[in-house]
Amino acid sequence: MAAIRKIPVSTGIFWVEVPNADVRILCGCPADSVKHLLRKGLIVPIEVSGVACETGPNAILLSDLVIQNGRVSNQSEFPVLQMLYNQGMIVPGHPGNTGLRPLLIGSRLQVDAQMAYIFRGNYGLISREELRDAGVPPAQADELMRMKLAFAFGRIRPSEELVQPVYVERERVELRNGVFVRRLRTNIFEISYGEERVDVNLTLAPGEYYECAYTLDKHLLQRDYFTVVHTGDGDGWDMNRPTMGSIILFQGRVFLIDAGPNIGYALTALGIGVNEIDGIFHSHCHDDHLAGLTSLIRGDRRIAYYAVPMVRASVIKKLSSMARISEHEFSQLFDVHDLTLDEWNDVEGLEVRPILSPHPVETTIFYFRAMWEGGYRIYGHLADIASFDVMRKMIAPDDAPAGISQSLFEKTADAYRQKTDVKKIDIGGGLIHGAAVDFRDDPSGKLILAHTARRLTEEERTIGSGAPFGTVEVLIEGVSDDLRRRAFGYLRDYFPDVPLHRIRHLMNSRILVFNPEVILIKEGQRASDIYLILSGTVEMLRPGVPGSNLLSAGSIIGETPALLDTVASETYRAVSFVQAMRLPRDLYLDFVKRNDLYHDIVDSRDEWEFLRGSWLFADGVSCMTLNRLVHETEPISFEADRIIPPPENELLVMRSGEALLITPSGYKEQLMAGSHFGATALADNAYRGTGVRIVDPAEAYRVPLDCIVHVPVVRWKLMETHRRRCEDS
* DSSP, residue by residue, 302-363: PEEEEE-HHHHHHHHHHHHHHH---HHHHHHHEEEEEPPTTS-EEETTEEEEEEE---SS--
pLDDT in the model for residue 88: 93
State the pLDDT confidence band at 429, using cuts at 50, 70 and 90.
Answer: very high
Check whether 11 has a pLDDT greater than 70. Answer: yes
Check whether 643 has a pLDDT greater than 50. Answer: yes
State the pLDDT confidence band at 603, using cuts at 50, 70 and 90.
Answer: confident
Check whether 376 has a pLDDT greater than 80. Answer: yes
Calculate what percentage of the chain has a pLDDT beyond 70: 99
Domains and CATH numbers, the chain: 5-107+168-201 (no CATH), 226-476 (3.60.15.10), 482-622 (2.60.120.10), 633-726 (2.60.120.10)
Check whether 54 has a pLDDT greater than 70. Answer: yes
For residues 574 and 515, is the Cβ–Cβ distance under 8 A?
yes
State the pLDDT confidence band at 148, using cuts at 50, 70 and 90.
Answer: very high
For residues 29 and 223, is the Cβ–Cβ distance under 8 A?
no
Tens digits of residue pLDDT in 529-584: 999 999 999 999 988 777 788 899 999 999 888 888 889 989 999 999 999 999 99
pLDDT in the model for residue 147: 96
Query: What would the mean pLDDT of 149-158 be, rounded to a whole number?
Result: 93
For residues 189 and 182, is the Cβ–Cβ distance under 8 A?
yes
Tens digits of residue pLDDT in 316-364: 999 999 888 889 999 999 999 999 999 999 999 999 999 999 999 999 9
pLDDT in the model for residue 207: 85
Query: Which of 173, 274, 255 has the alpha carbon at shortest distance from 536?
Result: 274
Amino acid 400 reads A
State the pLDDT confidence band at 285, using cuts at 50, 70 and 90.
Answer: very high
Helix (H, G, I), strand (E, B) or coil at 145: helix
What pairing do the DSSP bridges indicate for beta strands 59-61 and 23-27?
Answer: parallel
What pairing do the DSSP bridges indicate for beta strands 51-54 and 71-72?
Answer: unpaired
> Average pLDDT of the chain?
93
Check whether 729 has a pLDDT greater than 70. Answer: no
**Of the candidate ranges 122-136, 208-222, 521-535, 714-728, the one whose mean pLDDT is the lowest:** 714-728
**Of the candidate ranges 22-26, 379-383, 396-400, 600-604, the one whose mean pLDDT is the lowest:** 600-604
Amino acid 8 reads P
Tens digits of residue pLDDT in 496-510: 889 999 999 999 999
State the pLDDT confidence band at 1, using cuts at 50, 70 and 90.
Answer: low
Give pTM, 2 decimals: 0.95
